[in-house]
Amino acid sequence: MTRAILGGAAATLLRNEPTRTALRSIWVQTSVGTLPWDPVLEQLANIFSGPVAHAFMAFAFAAGVIVYGVAGKSEAAGRLLKAGFVMTLAIEAVKLLNYFLPN
């Protein structure tokens, strides 16, 4: 009995033209690839590949130089310098790929 009532309500709802139009617009919006959270994710990606990455690179290089100056040639200084260098290479590779393969 409950199934018949819910089925009838759904059929009545879908027969309504504004409802079908609204559902169709939602389907088109999601099938095109413009989801509501896409701009937020793009903004976060820009932040993490921009100022946050550059701050981490600068911190890693500065900390590596300070540790190298204080403790001499140590494993910690080497790791910090390597982290800064690898991060620099990764960010520049992403920039180069974005230049050659734009969206």
Are the C-beta atoms of residues 82 and 65 closer than 8 Å to each other? no
> In this structure, are 29 and 79 located in the same domain?
no
> In this structure, are 55 and 101 located in the same domain?
yes
> In this structure, are 99 and 52 located in the same domain?
yes
**Domain region containing 9:** 1-35
pLDDT (0 to 100) of residue 17: 58
> In this structure, are 2 and 41 located in the same domain?
no
> In this structure, are 45 and 2 located in the same domain?
no
Burial class (CB in 10 A: 0-12, 13-18, 19+), 61: middle
Are the C-beta atoms of residues 68 and 77 closer than 8 Å to each other? yes
Question: How does pLDDT run along the chain (103 residues), one tens digit per residue?
Answer: 545 544 555 555 556 555 556 555 555 555 566 788 888 888 887 887 788 888 888 888 888 888 888 888 888 888 888 888 888 888 888 888 888 987 6
**pTM reported for the whole predicted model:** 0.50
pLDDT (0 to 100) of residue 6: 47
> In this structure, are 15 and 46 located in the same domain?
no
> In this structure, are 47 and 9 located in the same domain?
no
Token match 């540790």: residue?
A: 67
> In this structure, are 27 and 61 located in the same domain?
no
pLDDT (0 to 100) of residue 19: 57
Query: In sequence order, what are the residues at sequence separation of 6 or more whose Cβ sits closer than 8 angstroms to the Cβ of residue 19?
Result: 13
> In this structure, are 42 and 65 located in the same domain?
yes
